[in-house]
Amino acid sequence: MTEKIGYGVFGLGVGRSHVSGALKADGCAFVAICDIHEATLHRVGDEYGIAPENRYTSFDEMLRRPDIAAVSICTPSGMHRDHAIKAMKAGKHVLTEKPLEIRLERIDEMLAVAEEERRLLGCVFQSRLAPAYRFVKETIDSGRMGKLITCNFHLKWYREDSYYRKNGGWRGTWAMDGGGAIMNQTVHTVDLMQWLMGPVSSIFAKTGTYTHDIETEDTAVAAVTFENGAIGTLIGTTCAYPGLEVSVQIHGAKGSIYMSNQRIVLFKMADDDSDFSEEKRVLELYGPNRPKEADAQAGIKTGHAGQVQDMIDAVIQGRPPLIEGREGRAAVEIIQALYESAKSGREISLPYQPEVVGV
């Protein structure tokens, strides 16, 4: 019989997606849930049919369960270090929501504890599991696009002011969100940028707070230089009414790819001698008309369900998770450098040693 493990989820906002993913995951014996807010705990527990003995308002109590091998940390971002370290010290493997934490020195503490306790530490960046992004990654890594020249990674979303006030108002604060549109929303896009284009060598940014009553930025624009010499732009905003797309455009010397959200909308390769029928095939597979159910039909788990499945598989197989903690660190390093650039008016080089920003 294949091994099965108990899986815990702490924090039941986006944590609900971890609960539904774990309930459907191969290798999951049962799901336990925890939230300090009792009404939320029972609402989610009832919605997913979680047995009363697997519901907790105390994280410590849930962590005392020896039959839970791994937990997802889905609490506000500025709490991830404390919660992840507590879980690892209690012997659990940990999958932490993005951003891994809001400051590099805290992430370094988490990585050190993972090593000391020999626990797995994974980070959620579920966009990386989208088949179109995986295909773009393979295409770039194959060298087909030639030398990378330039790129745009732009997130144009919209959030009402009320979004920043709800749930205790932790979003848009330096102390708990670690930033605004970039640290919270655009962190996914920053991760994709460094995953696809390669490591960032410097960043020059401007940020502003345009339509929201928050401490942090709701808009940022940055010029980014990569270690491979490519240059590009990064934009993130929560002011783009009514909420538009994440667009990614990548140009190499021998090819160009455009993406809108998680779909490929343009695919031009210089070595395509098939009169552009390759583009037609790529768009059929990964374009806007790809049916929503295509992944499920192909047996591919994407999104949070895919990341929770990967974490459970990693624990059972004794291998690292797909997106390890140190990859979660890379995005936060770029973002802290971006904030430092906007604050100082200087271009900031990476590796970046942070000064105290905001808080």
Ligand X SMILES: NC(=O)c1ccc[n+]([C@@H]2O[C@H](COP(=O)([O-])OP(=O)(O)OC[C@H]3O[C@@H](n4cnc5c(N)ncnc54)[C@H](O)[C@@H]3O)[C@@H](O)[C@H]2O)c1
Contact residues for ligand X, defined by CB under 6 A: 11-14, 35-37, 40, 74-77, 79, 97-98, 124, 126, 167, 184
Cross-strand pairs, 246: 155
Nearer to ligand X, 23 or 79 (CB): 79
Nearer to ligand X, 85 or 282 (CB): 85
Nearer to ligand X, 38 or 271 (CB): 38
For the bound state, the minimum distance from the C-beta of residue 48 to ligand X, rounded and expressed in Å, comes to 14
Nearer to ligand X, 79 or 244 (CB): 79
Q: Are 237 and 208 in contact (CB under 8 A)?
A: no
Return phi, psi of residue 50, to 5°: -80, 130
Query: What b/e readout covers 83-92, taking b as 16+ CB neighbours within 10 angstroms?
Result: bbbbbbebeb
Strands 219-226 and 148-156: unpaired
**Longest CA span, the chain:** 63
Q: Are 185 and 157 in contact (CB under 8 A)?
A: yes
For the bound state, the minimum distance from the C-beta of residue 110 to ligand X, rounded and expressed in Å, comes to 13
For the bound state, the minimum distance from the C-beta of residue 77 to ligand X, rounded and expressed in Å, comes to 4
For the bound state, the minimum distance from the C-beta of residue 38 to ligand X, rounded and expressed in Å, comes to 9
Nearer to ligand X, 34 or 282 (CB): 34
For the bound state, the minimum distance from the C-beta of residue 177 to ligand X, rounded and expressed in Å, comes to 7
For the bound state, the minimum distance from the C-beta of residue 17 to ligand X, rounded and expressed in Å, comes to 8
Q: Are 220 and 237 in contact (CB under 8 A)?
A: yes
Q: Are 258 and 249 in contact (CB under 8 A)?
A: yes
Q: Identify the CA nearest to 222 among candidates 236, 240, 234, 238.
A: 234
Nearer to ligand X, 11 or 321 (CB): 11
Q: Are 263 and 286 in contact (CB under 8 A)?
A: yes
Q: Are 9 and 71 in contact (CB under 8 A)?
A: yes
Nearer to ligand X, 107 or 145 (CB): 107
Nearer to ligand X, 97 or 295 (CB): 97
For the bound state, the minimum distance from the C-beta of residue 265 to ligand X, rounded and expressed in Å, comes to 22
> What are the CA-CA distances from residue 327 to residues 121, 260, 337, 353 (Å)?
10, 24, 16, 17
Give SS3 for 250.
strand
Please give the Cα distance from 184 to 173 (Å, whole number): 10
Q: Are 132 and 126 in contact (CB under 8 A)?
A: no
For the bound state, the minimum distance from the C-beta of residue 283 to ligand X, rounded and expressed in Å, comes to 26
**Nearest to ligand X by Cβ — which residue?**
13
